[in-house]
Chains A and B, each alone.
Chain A
Amino acid sequence: MTTTANKRHREVKEPHWIEWATGVISALVVVATIAWVAYEAWTYADMQPEFSIAITERRQTEGGYRIAFDIANKATATAAAVTVRGEILDGGNIVEDADVTFDYVPAESKSSGAILFSQDPGAREVRVRAVGFIEP
């Protein structure tokens, strides 16, 4: 450890062992962070966003019908302005459609949203899909 005669600054005094302990822990944390990011950089591939949508709730609301869903992005690239379209299909014909736009769907993350229809789809098929995005 350091011993110095100069007493004017805190740094030059005999450091308490806690200072070294904190220093070592911090160094480990910082090295771990750098290692993590370095691993990400090493395995980084220029992927395109990939979406999967899961409907989580269908519910009658006042004056309409709400379909809530989660949109997950499995890729390592973030998508911005993701437009999701919901359609009620009756034997292949689109009866009603509604759009919703997400500002961001981050990489390896999910976002939640809902589409509001004016009618109850009932037994008819409901299709929810992402129709477009831009790179942030």
Chain B
Amino acid sequence: MNGVRAERGDGASESRSFLIGLGRGAAGAMLFGIPMLMTMELWQLGFYIERWRLFLLLIVNIPLLILLAHRIGFERTSTVAEACRDATIAYGLGIVISAAVLIMLGDIKPHMPLSEILGKIAIQSVPASIGALLGRSQLGGQAGKEEDQDDEEEDEEEGAVPDEISTSYSRELFLMAVGALFLNLNVAPTEEIILIAYKMTPSHALVTICVSIAIMHGFVYAVAFKGTHEISEETPWWHAFFRFTLPGYMVAMLISLYVLWTFGRLDDTGPTQMLMSAIVLSFPGAIGAAAARLIL
């Protein structure tokens, strides 16, 4: 990443690399945010979502962005302060890009009440800000950065202390949660999710659970994508299955319930219907969680 080279250059190239970073963040916010910015249900949610649920979503997004920034930052973040700064920039970019696109699409007009305008921008800024952080890391892909990350990981492995293992484990679960959240935010607001849940019988749901878990495990361990995690030959396959795939599915399930609740899809609904919606939403969630382990 340019930031790495910048220390050699003068102030001008440093600010240039920062601007490039901002550009990548904006591109990421756009790339990851567009599907949601052009979803009718999310515009409507902007004005009818209960304000304290929206508030909670906006608050939850802050530590999420900071942790994510710590992992894959705008600049190479080493301290918490830097991660906070990057998270703030990403959130700001998310808000600005969401507002700009919504205005361009004619979805925000001056005569609208302020609470509607704010609600629409606020709800879109969450996925857009995650996109801004991801854009920075995923659109950057120069060789320099790749090498650098490998170095970093090796350093980590070498310096591993027993505590490190559980830290990287929790980080792994965190990444799965981010991946699940991201795909969930894409599909959860649409009416199709509850419609599918209503159309499905319990037998369909059983198959969906099994397929979701199988896809999650297959994505990470069986199909050889770039970044695939290998299991050594003497480790039985079920070790990774119990330690990563099942917790991953549980994380996807919890995120699904949280997102459905935030969007008011669980209100006045019977427990079985809640579970069915969560199972439907966990299907994309599981794919997102598995993909996050590979990509991030």
Interface on A for B, CB 8 Å cutoff? 2, 4, 6-16, 18-20, 22-27, 29-30, 33-34, 36-38, 40-41, 44, 76, 78, 80, 103-104, 106-112, 136
Contacts and interface: CB of A to CB of B under 8 A. Distances in A.
A107 B246 contact: no
Contacts of B247: 22-23, 25-26
A20 B235 contact: no
Contact of A33 (B168, B203, B242, B275): B275
Contacts of A14: 165
B253 A16 contact: no
B205 interface: yes
Given A19-B166, A41-B203, 11 more contacts: A2-B234, A2-B235, A7-B157, A9-B232, A16-B169, A24-B242, A25-B247, A26-B247, A26-B249, A37-B206, A37-B279
A76 B272 CA distance: 9
A59 B266 CA distance: 28
Given A34-B206, A106-B273, A15 B249 contact: no
Contacts, number: 134
A99 to B, nearest CB: 21
Contacts of A109: 268-270, 273
B231 A12 contact: yes
Contact of A11 (B240, B246, B250, B272): B240
A37 B234 CA distance: 35
A15 B250 CA distance: 19
B206 A26 contact: no
B93 interface: no
Contact of B242 (A4, A18, A20): A20
Nearest to A10: B168
A36 B209 CA distance: 12
B272 A107 contact: yes
A18 B173 CA distance: 12
Contacts of A136: 195, 198-199
Interface of B: 157, 160, 162, 165-166, 168-169, 172-173, 191, 194-195, 198-199, 201-203, 205-206, 209, 213, 229-232, 234-235, 239-240, 242-244, 246-247, 249-250, 253, 268-273, 275, 279
B198 A30 contact: no
Contacts of B157: 7-8
B125 to A, nearest CB: 28
A11 B244 contact: yes
Nearest to A6: B232
B232 A16 contact: no
A37 B205 contact: yes
A19 B166 CA distance: 7
A110 B272 CA distance: 13
A2 B201 contact: no
A27 B246 contact: yes
Contacts of B239: 2, 11, 15
Contacts of A36: 272, 275
A13 B235 CA distance: 10
Contact of A38 (B198, B206, B213): B206
